[in-house]
Structure 1
Amino acid sequence: MDRTVVAGLDGSPESRAAVEWAAREAELRGLPLKIVHVWEPDPGPLDRAPMLGVETRAHWSERIPRESAAGLRARHPGLEITAEHLPGRAYEILPKVALSAELLVLGSRALGALGGFLVGSVGQSVIAHTEVPVVLVRAGHQAVDEHEADPAGVPSAHTAFRPVLLGLDTGGQADDVTAFAFEEAARRGTRLRVLNAYNLPPYYVYGLAADPTLHDEITREQAAALTEALERWRKEYPSVEVVEESRPGSAGQLLADASRQASLVVVGRRVRHGRIGTHIGSVTHAVLHHATAPVAVVAHP
């Protein structure tokens, strides 16, 4: 494997934020950064200008990764940065490029305070067909004060990271997902907040009305299961401070709410070979559209 961090760039503010995030992540990992700009020579906005031929459009398109790389080199002088300009369709090219990478970083567009974020068909397709971790980054993250934690790790390399947030399913969490979250917390020198969401079966709900102590019993059982699931990982990463939280409710909603205090949210996606479409799971789908921090989607068997 060619150990690199790959960032997809299309020239939008969201993709530029993703590239900046990827640069800091590459520095944390001690890896080079590869910027990939996929140019689709099909009809698009530039084709509406009759004076621009194919070669002219390609020339202007090639400037996007070149100028972005130049700016990053100035801000990250110790980081090895390369840029590629590839013709084709992003949802086909990016998964292929990611085959030789450790991480793929993309941007997603905000819809507004109540509307969440847009992970379009291209982004969802790339996530569904990429087996290395994929991180979706929002545009517009800024540190309010130089002494405050920077929620997204950009734009300042001198601000501390907020905790990493992991959504954990005690019923069968994949090791790949948990290991990724612990590694990211260790790299950032920050806490790992582990959130386990569970739903109460209908017969429990009815039982609670007759026996209020049943709620406490369920809470203790869920907390014990979470502690047990993390025991091995605490031993493997003794330097990482772990904060456990087990709560009833929707996993997607709880993770989205908790993302406001996180530098990175980590969720899993089961690899489904042979499936047609962009199946990424309901919880992951909800987190991608509503979390305010960057979201890492880790594929697992």
Structure 2
Amino acid sequence: MTSTELPVVAAVDGSTHSGDALDWAAREAAGRGLPLLIVHVRLLTRRADPEAQEREAAELLAQAVRRVNGIAPGLRPTTLAPLDFPSAALVALSRDASLVVVGSRGLGGFRSLMLGSNSLATASMAKCPVVVIHGGRRDEEPDETAAEVFPDVVAGVAADESSEAVLEFAFETAAVRPGARLRIVHGWTMFSSMLSGGPVFDRDAAADAAERSLAELTAGWREKYPQVEVVKEPVNGSASRTLVTASATAALTVIGRRKGGESLGLGLSPVAQTTLTHALGPVAVVPC
């Protein structure tokens, strides 16, 4: 199986959030021409009845397949029910996946938490991009209209090489969405300008430097994807706050995970974790 045929993996557990994630994954797989793998992880616990777990998993997966057939006929998803810890199973599957899609919270999550531990762990450690679907933004609107109401893809970038993977995923995603613009957002402050070796005391010069950095970052990608309309948005302010605000009117917000923190046990940068936790729509976390 080539990299272009690697499946979209959708994690389901019977929760409303995982149902939303399954719907999103089915549409994305169909739009990208990729296979869909639906996964329900049977929990490792001594108190569980293995036979009952298998029956429940089979029923849940059968329901998920029927749901996908109603959304994307002809997709023909496959299913898997490994016995493992949820995040461990999804991270393992991510090695041979194009994308992993999860709900922001599962059945075991506390309602007061905006992001469940399994979603956070998967986004922190997966080997491929992970999309976390936040529920509640459009509860009263039919799902079919979401792409029409919020067509844009937002990509949060830093002015360095860490943004290459983010831009690649963002351009690919925008290219398969008819009418979608790609809004490339870069939040900057005078402090970040200083850290990157830019102007320190001249705000206008710092703004010009941020705009030039965005132009340099996007030049090659715009040539590769000429069909994608690009809007560059250098914003003076907190990067995470800027991305959370942008996520309210985005079909998908794409952010980089930054691998550097993994050696310290930190899979997500502060900007990525804040954005992922507080976003108002779907967020893709890209290893970079």
Range of TM-score over shorter length: 0.7 to 0.9
2:37 aligns with 34
1:203/1:229 CA distance change after superposition, 3 Å: closer
Q: Post-superposition shift, 1:93?
A: 1.0
1:56 aligns with 52
- 2:262 matched to 1:277? no
1:286/1:72 CA distance change after superposition, 3 Å: same
Find the residue that maps to 2:257 and give its secondary structure.
Answer: strand
Considering fraction of residues, name the structure with more helix: 2
1:171/1:57 CA distance change after superposition, 3 Å: closer
1:229/1:158 CA distance change after superposition, 3 Å: closer
Aligned residue among 180, 186, 189 for 1:196: 186
Aligned residue among 99, 114, 134 for 1:138: 134
1:194/1:202 CA distance change after superposition, 3 Å: closer
Find the residue that maps to 2:21 and give its secondary structure.
Answer: helix
Q: Which runs of 4+ in 1 moved over 6 A?
A: 143-146
- 2:105 matched to 1:117? no
In structure 2, distance between residues paired with 1:36 and 1:203? 44
Gap runs ≥5 in structure 1:
48-52, 147-153, 205-210
After the TM superposition, which residues 43-192 of structure 1 pair with which residues of structure 2 at under 5 Å, given as runs?
53-109=49-105, 117-118=114-115, 120-142=116-138, 154-156=143-145, 159=148, 161-189=150-178, 190-192=180-182
Normalising by structure 2, report the TM-score. Answer: 0.86
Q: Post-superposition shift, 1:299?
A: 0.5
Deviations 1:234-267 (A, max 9, x none): 1111111111111122111110011111100001
Q: Assess if the C-alpha contact under 8 Å between 2:247 and 2:253 holds in 1.
A: yes
Find the residue that maps to 2:162 and give its secondary structure.
Answer: coil
Q: Post-superposition shift, 1:111?
A: 8.1
Deviations 1:180-204 (A, max 9, x none): 1111111112100011111213998
Deviations 1:155-197 (A, max 9, x none): 4588465210000111333322111111111111210001111
Q: Which has the larger radius of gyration?
A: 1
Deviations 1:211-255 (A, max 9, x none): 9xx332322222122122211111111111111111122111110
In structure 2, distance between residues paired with 1:203 and 1:124? 30
Gap runs ≥5 in structure 2:
195-200
- 2:275 matched to 1:287? yes
Aligned residue among 256, 263, 271 for 2:251: 263
Deviations 1:22-54 (A, max 9, x none): 00000111111110000114157xx6xxxxx44
Aligned length: 275
Supply the AA of the counterpart residue of 1:131. Answer: K
Q: Assess if the C-alpha contact under 8 Å between 2:27 and 2:71 holds in 1.
A: no
The alignment's C-alpha RMSD in Å is 2.7
Normalising by structure 1, report the TM-score. Answer: 0.82
Q: Assess if the C-alpha contact under 8 Å between 1:8 and 1:105 holds in 2.
A: yes
> Higher mean Cα deviation, 122-131 or 94-103?
122-131
Q: Post-superposition shift, 1:131?
A: 1.3
1:239 aligns with 227
2:240 aligns with 252
The share of aligned pairs that are identical, in percent, is 33
